Amino acid sequence: MFAAVKWHLGTDGEDQPSSREIEVRATNPRLFRRVGSPSAAELLAHAGFEWLVIETEHSALDSAEVEHMLMAINGTESVPIVRVPSTDPVCIQRSLDSGAMGIMVPMVKTVEEAQAVVRATRYPPLGTRGYNPLRAAHYSFDSKDYFYRVNDNLLVALILETKEAVENLEAIAAVRGVDVLFLGPFDLCLSLGLDPMKQPHPQIQMVVEELLSVCKKTGVSAGIHVFNPDQLEERRSQGFTMISYGTDYAILADAARIGLAAFRRKPRP
């Protein structure tokens, strides 16, 4: 099971729209970006990650930095997604106007919040997004094309990470326009009174099973973050189809640890 979101801007040849496709399936590599470097974003995009998430909830990135990173990613085959800091419609609109092809929204707890997020991504009459995309519409060169197509060509991923969200899981999944339900185990542990540093917990595993069941029934993709190849294989075999692998700073830190460990080993006699 996978969800596909097609992006059309401009034309290739005779009346044939160009397209970029996000296939949310377990075979595609993805990564979270928190280091504020357009060059690093471009490097990782060229490395082969199908999509990159620019993290703005837990980072100090401002709108200008996000836009520069989007510019770097837009020049590659990788799909840029912004993890916005909240459900605030202004944050969502700003990310989309800057060129994001999808958003990931944290701390969604209720059906009403999920509906509001979807509305914030759509132009009227389907939503409440204000019009002035600029960069997203190629600085007015593709304004008409963007306006008519974008309502149906954006990825909306909601991060479920609270007890209340779990209680409303099935109803949230049924909200039209939601493409992905992404589980946030660390914050979910905190919400349930569990120690996130001592995972796995049986309670979290129960939520995982419920999420996968609901997503299978509704056709919404199930997402989760992993930190190593073993976790990747486990989550993929469970049925998760939007799996993010690592973060830019974690990859850099791991490379540093490996190199430093080699320096610190005693030379062979």
Instruction: Just list the catalytic residues.
Output: 58
Per the DSSP assignment, residues forming a β-bridge with 28 are none
Distances (CA, A) of 222 to 188, 214, 242, 265: 16, 9, 6, 43
Q: Are the C-beta atoms of residues 214 and 173 closer than 8 Å to each other? A: yes
3-state DSSP percent of the chain in helix, strand and coil, to 5: 45, 20, 35
Q: Is 190 left (phi over 0), alpha (psi -120 to 50) or beta?
A: alpha
Closest by alpha carbon to 98, among 131, 136, 68, 62? 136
Q: Distance (Å, rounded) from C-alpha 63 to C-alpha 65?
A: 5
With a CB cutoff of 8 Å and minimum separation 6, the contacts of 175 are 111, 114, 115, 118
With a CB cutoff of 8 Å and minimum separation 6, the contacts of 263 are none
Q: Are the C-beta atoms of residues 238 and 204 closer than 8 Å to each other? A: no
Distances (CA, A) of 80 to 45, 186, 223: 9, 24, 16
